């Protein structure tokens, strides 16, 4: 009797298991086969794998140069990947089920995708897993429209306070991207955007929060970005201090064009279009040297439905509306 009682008190195995990097690569190949319809999960997974490579290369470089200046990645953007506990490697390549969770102690972000029509196993996993601590007020990002009703069933029990914004997923066909031409406005120049600009970029972000400057620092360190700048007449080619940023754009953790911003004093001059075109062309150029992993890649963007100006701009540049997604609002619960 005591033995039976002891067995019944043992915790149930978690419905999610961790994925190693090799298994995450299987996910990427799974979603590559469905391109361009699966660009959203494909680029999300691909971006993570590219980060893994960059972090390894940075660590190796620091060891070889005997320096202690190894940089870190903010837990706000770094994610751990899981799949259903019963999923084997073969199923990863056909069903593509994964749950990715940031390392943030407070308000971690959860992202999930699956190609499986039956969502009940994933719903049960989200409901029962110990990997999501609901006391820490998790949020959900990039929820595909076809998965939203299932998630609402989970949240009604776990986090009924969460509210969601509607967003549209856009893609830019490669053949359209290659035809883009840039006409640089007079008195402006394009500069690389790096981690030293994190404070300035964060200060203008309407959704900034405690720790979001480090979020930008990590994004710029890993994905880079572009800025448009103007200089005073006294500035020379090496006088970076006199350059004033007029606007910027970068690639976020979803592998999407994001955080496009033009300073108020520089608006209505076509600078947003210049930045998008320049970053698209530079990114495509970088893909050309990566013939294997970059196969089938296209530029994408997630644009809030209320952001009419951005939707109009991206459509004018040739971006095609693909699907809807939902993003939970930041919460102060």
pLDDT at 10 over 70: no
My answer on whether 88 and 225 are in the same domain is no
Are 145 and 253 found together in one domain? no
Phi–psi pair at 259, nearest 5 degrees: 55, 40
In angstroms, the CA 155 to CA 177 distance is 39
Same domain flag for 101 and 206: no
Q: Do residues 122 and 31 share a domain?
A: yes
Instruction: Report the relative pairing of strands 143-144 and 225-230 from DSSP bridges.
Output: unpaired
Could you tell me if 116 and 221 lie in one domain? no
> With a threshold of 0.85, does the pTM exceed it?
yes
With tokens 């991207």, the residue in question is 177
What is the dihedral angle through the alpha carbons of 261, 265, 269, 273, rounded to the nearest 10 degrees? Answer: -10
Domain match, 158 and 237 both: no
Residue 191 shares a structural domain with residue 140: no
Domain count, the chain: 2
Does residue 280 sit in helix, strand or coil? helix
Please give the residue range of the domain that contains residue 219. 174-318
pLDDT in tens, 70-104: 667 889 999 999 999 999 999 999 999 999 999 99
CATH number of 158's domain? 3.40.630.30
204 neighbors 261 (Cβ within 8 angstroms): yes
Taking only the tens place, the pLDDT of each residue in 192-249 is: 999 999 999 999 988 888 888 999 999 999 999 999 999 765 545 555 555 789 999 9
Assigned domain for 332 exists: no
**Structural domain contains residue 167:** no
Residue 37 lies in a domain: yes
Q: Let me know whether 194 and 309 are in one domain.
A: yes
């Amino acid at each position: 009797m005591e033995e039976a009682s002891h067995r019944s008190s043992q915790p149930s195995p978690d419905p999610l298991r961790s994925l190693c990097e090799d298994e995450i690569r299987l996910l990427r190949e799974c979603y590559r086969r469905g391109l361009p319809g699966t660009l959203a999960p494909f680029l999300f997974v691909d971006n993570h794998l590219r980060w893994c490579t960059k972090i390894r290369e940075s660590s190796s470089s620091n060891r070889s140069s005997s320096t202690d200046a190894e940089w870190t990645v903010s837990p706000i953007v770094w994610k751990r990947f899981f799949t259903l506990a019963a999923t084997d490697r073969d199923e990863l390549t056909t069903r593509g089920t994964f749950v990715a969770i940031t390392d943030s102690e407070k308000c971690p972000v959860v992202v999930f995708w699956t190609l499986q029509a039956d969502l009940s196993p994933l719903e049960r996993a989200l409901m029962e897993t110990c990997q999501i601590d609901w006391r820490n007020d998790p949020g959900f990002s990039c929820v595909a429209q076809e998965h939203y009703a299932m998630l609402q069933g989970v949240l009604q029990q776990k986090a009924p306070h969460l509210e969601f914004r509607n967003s549209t997923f856009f893609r830019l066909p490669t053949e359209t991207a290659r035809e883009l031409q840039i006409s640089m406005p007079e008195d402006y120049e394009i500069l690389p955007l790096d981690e030293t600009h994190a404070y300035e970029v964060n200060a203008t972000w309407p959704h900034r929060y405690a720790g979001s400057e480090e979020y930008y620092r990590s994004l710029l360190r890993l994905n880079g970005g572009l800025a448009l700048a103007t200089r005073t007449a006294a500035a020379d080619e090496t006088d970076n201090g006199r350059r004033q940023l007029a606007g910027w754009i970068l690639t976020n953790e979803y592998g999407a064009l994001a955080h496009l911003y033009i300073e108020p004093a520089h608006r209505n001059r076509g600078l947003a279009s210049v930045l998008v075109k320049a970053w698209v062309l530079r990114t495509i150029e970088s893909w050309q040297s990566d013939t294997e992993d970059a196969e089938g890649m296209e530029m994408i963007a997630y644009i809030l439905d209320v952001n009419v100006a951005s939707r109009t701009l991206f459509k004018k540049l040739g971006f095609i509306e693909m699907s809807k997604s939902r993003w939970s609002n930041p919460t102060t619960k």
